[in-house]
Chains A and B, each alone.
Chain A
């Protein structure tokens, strides 16, 4: 008697998609032998997604077959794919094949198509089968029930052959189709315009056997194929709320640290430095970065000034950013604002933090994130999750936020920023008998006492320093107010 099983119900193995970020939102990849529909309008990336999965499987030593019905010709598809980095001619013909089954569908209906699929799975011993053109199979089906039976039979074969099946269809994403009820998962791709800007997304609408990350996630197509960027609020929703460690770290401006009873910025805290252009935000950030070391690596993310301009500015302040960069203690990261997706930037930032074990982070400025947000209502939760995750990773963060008003005594904090950060510092100009003065005010500093006065600041070739307190009438005392 054969007894190859234990009493427990065995878990189904997973198949990695080989698409960065996709396994994360699927909770570990596709379930092996599952049948999945990938749905979306033409041009949203279905073909690239399915091919990338095939090539990834082949790269791991498996075999795959790509079956088309009424889709682009194989030669054109291969030509288009050849510019992508995952493309590998070495996969042909033994481990990856492109075949057309349209003739079998036309002559033999769904039964004829099923015969081809079954034989391809058997003879090629493939672990991944793509059927591109489910719409054509659906149209060849006399009734919805026939199509359901076709899918069911396909599921039986997939299990017997240990083959994961992807069914690609351009069917409407807003209508429930009969086949949706049958398959193990339904993945929807979308390419949507937000004014003039287009943004791709992916959504797992159904995924049997596991809790996939719900909602829409960013999707990018470039020379490496598809990358998926999970929505940061979904990715870190189960992360515990991090607590700040005791202690402080130097801000890089000793006279500023002297205003704080802790002697520096609280460890692993998030500070927003808010002020209009020219008030000294970038200077403060660079001095904070200048205090980086091998033990406390620093990272500078800028949206509006490229690394060369940042280096030039640092030199003018007498800072050693060049040397720190060369030693590896500092990295300057530049992100062009506008076209990048919000979660893509967060992914890049957290990746850079992880790669070098960053402990000091400067984000100059927060508006770069906001400009990338196609759903502005996300920003509050986004920043909250980002700040919490950075705290979890033991990073002390300075974030610069530019205000519109050059001279103002009101601190406007958009996106609920004041509520999610630990510390808030306000920089501004005031007129004083024909002179313009820069002032610094600490509005909030968590877990430490501080001098809450109006502090005059000077910026010269040695950087920023506090130059005493400023006497003024009450109308320049700042009050935090949400931006309208």
Chain B
């Protein structure tokens, strides 16, 4: 079973997505900011992370940069998402595997997850 870590500071958003991912047959974990997510990632070594860009303490780009710098997460796929245009985020960090503009439909996300995990 593939493990996915969902990181989003918005109340309920990560939990809702986690529940849907579990219904789709994934093992899902949630965190509400980059710092907590980093600790969680070290525990579970996820196959994929879905991370929001704008969060307190450590934003999504900083979190993803930390992840990319650690060889333990060499195989972890990163989906960065935000309501902002991708160009704004890419200026700071472009080491993610995919970008999703919020709001996105769950079917689009699931298709993207399967594509990334198959590859």
Q: Give chain A's interface residues, CB within 8 Å of chain B.
A: 1-10, 33, 118-119, 122, 149, 152-153, 156-157, 159-162
- Whether B97 and A6, one on each chain, are in contact in the complex, defined by CB atoms closer than 8 angstroms, is no
Known: A118-B19, A122-B20, A160-B17. Contact between A1 and B10, CB under 8 A?
A: no
The residues of A that contact B71 with a CB separation of less than 8 Å are none
What are 7 A-B pairs at a CB distance below 8 A? Answer: A5-B85, A7-B85, A9-B85, A118-B16, A160-B105, A160-B106, A161-B106
Q: What A residues does B83 contact at CB under 8 A?
A: 9
Interface of B is mostly: mixed
Q: Is B92's beta carbon under 8 Å from chain A?
A: no
Known: A1-B97, A118-B20. A33 touches B103 (CB 8 A): yes
Q: How many A-B pairs fall under 8 Å by CB?
A: 59
Set of chain A residues within 8 Å of B112, measured between Cβ atoms? 2
When C-beta atoms are compared, the residue in chain B nearest to A153 turns out to be: B12
Interface readout for B55-95 with A: 1 if CB under 8 Å, 0 if not? Answer: 00000000000000000000000000001011100000010
Q: How far is the CA of A6 from the CA of B19 in the complex (A)?
A: 30
CB distance from A32 to the nearest CB of B (A): 10
Residues of A within 8 A of B94 (CB): 1
Q: Closest CB of chain B to A287's CB: distance in Å?
A: 62
Cβ B15 vs Cβ A8 within 8 A: no
In the assembled complex, B117 has its CB within 8 A of some CB on chain A:
no
Question: How many angstroms between the C-alpha atoms of A160 and B17 in the bound complex?
Answer: 8
C-alpha gap A157/B20 in the complex (Å): 9
B1-21 vs A, Cβ < 8 Å mask (1 yes, 0 no)? 000000000111101110110
Question: In whole Å, how far is A33's beta carbon from the nearest beta carbon of chain B?
Answer: 7
Nearest to A151 among chain B residues (CB) is B12
Contact partner, B16, options A4, A119, A153, Cβ 8 Å = A153
Q: Are B105 and A1 in contact (CB-based, < 8 A)?
A: no
The interface centre, meaning the residue of A3, A5, A7, A119 with most chain B CB atoms within 10 A of its CB, is A5
Q: Besides the contacts A5-B85, A10-B101, A149-B12, what 12 more A-B pairs have beta carbons closer than 8 Å?
A: A1-B97, A4-B101, A7-B87, A118-B19, A119-B23, A122-B106, A152-B12, A153-B16, A156-B16, A160-B17, A160-B109, A161-B105
> Do B105 and A6 have beta carbons less than 8 Å apart?
no
Given A149-B11, A159-B103, CB of A6 within 8 Å of CB of B16: no
Known contacts A7-B87, A118-B19, A118-B20: A2-B12 contact under CB 8 Å:
no
Contact B12 A156 (CB under 8 A): yes
Instruction: List chain A residues, Cβ under 8 A from B15.
Output: 153
| Chain A residues within an 8 Å CB radius of B99 | 1-5
B20 and A5 within 8 A (CB): no
Least CB separation from A162: chain B residue: B105
A7-B85, A7-B87 known; A1-B17 Cβ under 8 A:
no
Q: How far is the CA of A418 from the CA of B28 in the complex (A)?
A: 73
Contacts A161-B105, A161-B106 given; does A5 touch B86 at CB 8 Å:
yes
Does A3 contact B86, Cβ atoms closer than 8 Å?
yes
Chain A residues whose C-beta falls within 8 Å of the C-beta of B109 in the assembled complex: 160
Within 8 Å CB of B17, what residues of A? 156, 160
